[in-house]
Amino acid sequence: MTMLVLVAGDFAMLLRAGMSVKHALFYNCVSSILCLVGMVVGVCAGNIGDVSLWIFALAAGMFIYIALVDMVTNVAFIIALLLIAFFCDFAMHSNKLQPNIFVKKLFP
């Protein structure tokens, strides 16, 4: 039942993006068939002893990469905000170097 909701959501997104009904159905079917092909390849490769270790290593590497890319962009954004807040506060109080309200709220 859950898969039906996901496929319907994908179909609605493709229609909303401007595809015709025929193209949206075609791309949904292609996506489903490629999922089945991937499952068959994964099951066949998983039955070979040495290959399963490489599959686990590849999957773990992908998860670590995605997590780090997401984390690094968020950390860079926070650092940029802190630098902007610091230099704006420093420009307003040129002789007094103290954290402003933004920094105090962010790091209590």
For residues 8 and 22, membership in a common domain is answered with yes
Domain range for 11? 1-47
pLDDT digits (tens, 9 = 90+) for 1-59: 677 888 888 889 989 999 999 999 999 899 889 999 999 988 888 888 788 788 888 88
Q: How many domains does the chain have?
A: 2
Same domain, 75 and 64: yes
* Sequential DSSP letters for the chain: -HHHHHHHHHHHHHHHTT--HHHHHHHHHHHHHHHHHHHHHHHHHHTSHHHHHHHHHHHHHHHHHHHHHHHHHHHHHHHHHHHHHHHHHHHHTSS-----HHHHHH--
Let me know whether 56 and 37 are in one domain. Answer: no
Q: Say yes or no: 56 and 98 in one domain.
A: yes
Q: Are residues 60 and 91 in the same domain?
A: yes
Residues 34 and 61 in one domain: no
Task: Identify the band that residue 89 occupies on the pLDDT scale cut at 50, 70 and 90.
Answer: low
Statement to judge: residues 42 and 70 lie in one domain: no
Residues 24 and 60 both lie in one domain: no
Same domain, 4 and 39: yes
> Do both 38 and 14 map to the same domain?
yes
**41 and 58 housed in the same domain:** no
What pTM value is reported for the model? 0.49
